[in-house]
């Protein structure tokens, strides 16, 4: 499942975050790449222990954990702290699949990368290229959303970032370990949850709501790993 979640941050919030990112200290993005992906990666990142990265990451996760659409889609258990990248001057990242397990820096905690997310901090007209290309069972999608918008997609997907030939592309990316390991099961639960919410809004007294809600939670109980 690939999902577009608009306006995680408002325009004013994006402006303040962008100003902070533009004045930050950036390092070679290959420092966090795996053995295979390091060969395809050409970008810059904030150091994982950078105070600015930690401040924005904390605000992002707090916002997203309270966001009904993100929670419904990802069913998060825990997350790898968001990181931040910058693409410019031809920067790119060729096709790769993210590592299945990420060890949190400075911690014994590990996160299984079930769900990948990218939050854009540059608008599409601010740079040329830089599309996030995602391949999966649903086909190939090119993603280039507005600043403040989030894309959520399976961590098992092959994906790449096209070369940025003009301007600068700022974004954040992170992984979520879901309570539901399998994307197909998460998708079924998401679709059921959205249908229940729609029915609740249109016909709040419909007798089928009790049955549907009970079925949703029984499936969640059967499949969840917590």
Annotated binding site for 2-oxoglutarate: 169
CA distances from 112 to 54, 122, 198 (A): 20, 28, 31
Binding residues: 96, 98, 159, 169
The SS3 assignment for 197 reads helix
User: Is 159:95 a contact under the CB 8 Å cutoff?
Assistant: yes
Q: Where are the alpha helices (DSSP H) in 46-140?
A: 51-65, 68-74
Residue whose pair of structure tokens reads 């096709």 in the numeric block = 95
The SS3 assignment for 18 reads helix
Give the closest residue to 199 by CA, choosing from 216, 182, 186, 185: 216
User: Is 74:115 a contact under the CB 8 Å cutoff?
Assistant: yes
Binding residues for Fe cation: 96, 98, 159
């Amino acid at each position: 499942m690939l999902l577009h979640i608009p306006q995680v941050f408002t325009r004013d919030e994006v402006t303040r975050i962008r100003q902070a990112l533009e004045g930050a200290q950036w390092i070679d993005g290959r420092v966090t790449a795996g053995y295979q992906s390091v060969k395809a990666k050409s970008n810059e990142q904030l150091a994982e222990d950078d105070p600015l990265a930690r401040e924005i990451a904390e605000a992002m996760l707090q916002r997203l954990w309270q966001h009904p659409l993100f929670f419904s889609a990802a069913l998060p258990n825990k997350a790898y702290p968001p990181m931040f990248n910058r693409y410019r001057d031809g920067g790119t990242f060729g096709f790769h699949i993210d590592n299945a397990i990420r060890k949190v820096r400075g911690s014994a905690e590990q996160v299984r990368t079930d769900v990948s997310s990218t939050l854009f901090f540059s608008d599409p007209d601010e740079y040329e290229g830089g599309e996030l290309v995602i391949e999966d069972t649903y086909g190939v999608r090119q993603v280039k959303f507005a600043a403040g918008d989030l894309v959520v997609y399976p961590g098992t997907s092959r994906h790449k970032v096209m070369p940025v030939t003009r301007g600068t592309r700022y974004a954040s990316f992170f992984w979520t370990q879901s309570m539901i390991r399998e994307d197909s099961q998460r998708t079924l639960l998401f679709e059921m949850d959205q249908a229940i919410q729609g029915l609740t809004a249109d016909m709040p007294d419909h007798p089928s709501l009790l049955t549907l809600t009970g079925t949703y939670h029984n499936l969640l109980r059967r499949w969840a790993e917590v």
